[in-house]
Structure 1
Amino acid sequence: MIMRVIPNRSVRILTIVGVVLLALNPLVVERASFGSSSNNGFSLLSGADVSHFAFLATMNHRSIGEASVFAVTDQPFSVARRVRTLGAVEQPWAVQLIEKTAKPLRKGDVCLLSFWARRAPGLGEKGAGKVAVYLQKASPNYNKMIDVVVRLDEQWRRFDVPFVADETYPTAAAELGIGFGFGPQVVDVADVNVTNFRQGVAIDSLPRTPFTYPGMEQQAQWRRQANERIERIRKSELVVEVLDKVGNPVPDAQVSLAQTSHFFPFGTAVEASRLLAQDETSRRYQQELVRLFNRATPENELKWMAVSGAWGPFDRNAVIRCLEWLKNRGISIRGHNLVWPRRDSLPPPVLNLLGRPELLQRMIDKHINEMGALTTPYVTEWDVLNEPVGNPLLVEALGEEAMVNWFKTARGALPKSCRLMVNQDGILTSGGPSDTKRQQEFQSLIAYLIGKGAPLEGVGLESHFGYDVTPPEDLLTILDKLADFGLPLEVTEFTLNVTDEKFQAAYTRDFLTACFSHPAVSGIVLWGFWQGNMFEPNAALYRTDWTLKPNGQVVRDLLLRQWRTETSGKTDASGQLTIRGFRGDYNLTAAKDGKRAGVVTSLTTDSTVKLVLE
Structure 2
Amino acid sequence: MLALLVALDSHAAERQQPVELIADGDFHATLLSPWRYRRVSSNFGDRSDSPTGSSLLLRSAPAPDDPTWAWGIRQLLQGSIEEKDVIVFRAWMRSQDRVRVLVVMEDSKEPYRKELRRLLRLSPEWKEYTLVLKASRAFAKGDAQLNIQLGLDRGTAEIATVRLENYSRDPHPVPRENVDPFGGEANPGDWRPAALSRIERIRKGELNVRVLDRRGKPVPGASVELKQLRHRFHFGTAVVARRLLGSDPDSVRYRAEIERLFNTIVFENEMKWERASPAQLAEVQQAVAWARKRGFDIRGHTLVWGDYAHSPGVRGLSKEQGRQRVEQRVQGAVAAMKGQVYIWDVVNEAVGSTELWEDLGWSLFPETFRIARRADPAAQLCYNEANLANQSLGERPLAVATERVRALIASGAPLDVIGDQAHMSLPLTPIRSVLSIWDGLASFQRPLEVTEFDVAVEDDLLHASYVRDFLTAAFSHPALQGFTLWGFWEGQHWLATKGGAMFRRDWSKRPAQDAYEQLVLGAWWSREHRSTAADGVARMRVFYGTHELVVVHGRARERRVVTLEPGKDGTFEFRL
TM-score, length of structure 1 as denominator length: 0.83
Indicate yes or no: 2:61 matched with 1:86: yes
Please state whether the residue corresponding to 1:315 is helix, strand or coil. Answer: helix
The alpha carbon displacement at 1:595 in A equals 4.7
Between stretches 569-578 and 484-493, larger displacement belongs to 569-578
2:532 partner amino acid: T
Q: Runs of 5+ in structure 2 lacking a partner?
A: 1-10
CA contact (8 A) 1:498 1:504 kept: yes
Q: In the superposition, relative to structure 1, how do residues 431 and 40 fare at CA in structure 2: closer, same or farther (>3 Å)?
A: closer
Please state whether the residue corresponding to 1:360 is helix, strand or coil. Answer: helix
The alpha carbon displacement at 1:108 in A equals 2.5
Among candidates 286, 299, 310, match of residue 345 of structure 1: 310
Residue number in structure 2 paired with 1:45:
21
Residue number in structure 1 paired with 2:453:
494
Residue number in structure 1 paired with 2:117:
147
Indicate yes or no: 2:203 matched with 1:228: no
Please state whether the residue corresponding to 1:454 is helix, strand or coil. Answer: coil
Tell me how far apart the structure 2 counterparts of residues 368 and 610 of structure 1 sit (CA, whole Å): 46
Residue number in structure 2 paired with 1:207:
176
Residue number in structure 2 paired with 1:324:
289
Q: In the superposition, relative to structure 1, how do residues 40 and 117 fare at CA in structure 2: closer, same or farther (>3 Å)?
A: same
The alpha carbon displacement at 1:465 in A equals 2.2
CA contact (8 A) 1:129 1:187 kept: yes
Tell me how far apart the structure 1 counterparts of residues 167 and 35 of structure 2 sit (CA, whole Å): 28
2:385 partner amino acid: Q
Please state whether the residue corresponding to 2:314 is helix, strand or coil. Answer: helix
Tell me how far apart the structure 2 counterparts of residues 423 and 586 of structure 1 sit (CA, whole Å): 32
Residue number in structure 2 paired with 1:20:
none
CA contact (8 A) 2:270 2:281 kept: no
Q: In the superposition, relative to structure 1, how do residues 200 and 446 fare at CA in structure 2: closer, same or farther (>3 Å)?
A: closer
Indicate yes or no: 2:492 matched with 1:542: no
The alpha carbon displacement at 1:592 in A equals 4.9
Q: Superposition pairs for residues 453-492 of structure 1, below 5 Å?
A: 453-492=412-451
Identity value in percent: 32
Tell me how far apart the structure 1 counterparts of residues 488 and 292 of structure 2 sit (CA, whole Å): 19
Q: Superposition pairs for residues 184-583 of structure 1, below 5 Å?
A: 184-201=154-171, 205-209=174-178, 211-213=180-182, 214=185, 216-217=187-188, 220-307=189-276, 309=277, 314-347=279-312, 349-353=313-317, 356-414=318-376, 416-431=377-392, 436-537=395-496, 538=498, 539-583=500-544
Tell me how far apart the structure 2 counterparts of residues 576 and 72 of structure 1 sit (CA, whole Å): 80
Q: In the superposition, relative to structure 1, how do residues 339 and 288 fare at CA in structure 2: closer, same or farther (>3 Å)?
A: same
Residue number in structure 2 paired with 1:69:
44
The alpha carbon displacement at 1:86 in A equals 0.9
Aligned length: 555
Instruction: Indicate the RMSD between aligned Cα atoms, in angstroms.
Output: 2.8
Residue number in structure 2 paired with 1:12:
none
What CA deviation, in whole Å up to 9, does each residue of 1:11-52 have, x standing for no partner? xxxxxxxxxxxxxxxxxxxxxxxx989921313424582426
TM-score, length of structure 2 as denominator length: 0.88
1:329 partner amino acid: R
Tell me how far apart the structure 2 counterparts of residues 584 and 492 of structure 1 sit (CA, whole Å): 20
The alpha carbon displacement at 1:490 in A equals 1.4
Between stretches 475-484 and 73-82, larger displacement belongs to 73-82
Residue number in structure 2 paired with 1:8:
none
Tell me how far apart the structure 2 counterparts of residues 602 and 293 of structure 1 sit (CA, whole Å): 17
Q: Runs of 5+ in structure 1 lacking a partner?
A: 1-34
CA contact (8 A) 2:224 2:549 kept: yes
CA contact (8 A) 2:22 2:163 kept: no
Tell me how far apart the structure 2 counterparts of residues 552 and 36 of structure 1 sit (CA, whole Å): 39
Q: In the superposition, relative to structure 1, how do residues 211 and 560 fare at CA in structure 2: closer, same or farther (>3 Å)?
A: farther
Q: In the superposition, relative to structure 1, how do residues 95 and 586 fare at CA in structure 2: closer, same or farther (>3 Å)?
A: same
Between stretches 327-336 and 101-110, larger displacement belongs to 101-110
Residue number in structure 1 paired with 2:75:
99
1:361 partner amino acid: R
Tell me how far apart the structure 2 counterparts of residues 111 and 612 of structure 1 sit (CA, whole Å): 69
Tell me how far apart the structure 1 counterparts of residues 459 and 128 of structure 2 sit (CA, whole Å): 16
CA contact (8 A) 1:44 1:104 kept: no
CA contact (8 A) 2:220 2:532 kept: yes
CA contact (8 A) 2:205 2:544 kept: yes
The alpha carbon displacement at 1:500 in A equals 2.9
Please state whether the residue corresponding to 1:327 is helix, strand or coil. Answer: helix
Tell me how far apart the structure 1 counterparts of residues 172 and 341 of structure 2 sit (CA, whole Å): 44
Please state whether the residue corresponding to 1:160 is helix, strand or coil. Answer: strand
Tell me how far apart the structure 1 counterparts of residues 547 and 136 of structure 2 sit (CA, whole Å): 42
Residue number in structure 2 paired with 1:9:
none
The alpha carbon displacement at 1:376 in A equals 0.9
Tell me how far apart the structure 2 counterparts of residues 418 and 565 of structure 1 sit (CA, whole Å): 29
The alpha carbon displacement at 1:461 in A equals 1.7
Tell me how far apart the structure 1 counterparts of residues 178 and 513 of structure 2 sit (CA, whole Å): 22
What CA deviation, in whole Å up to 9, does each residue of 1:81-131 have, x standing for no partner? 33222134664433233233333322223444433333x23xxx4xx4322
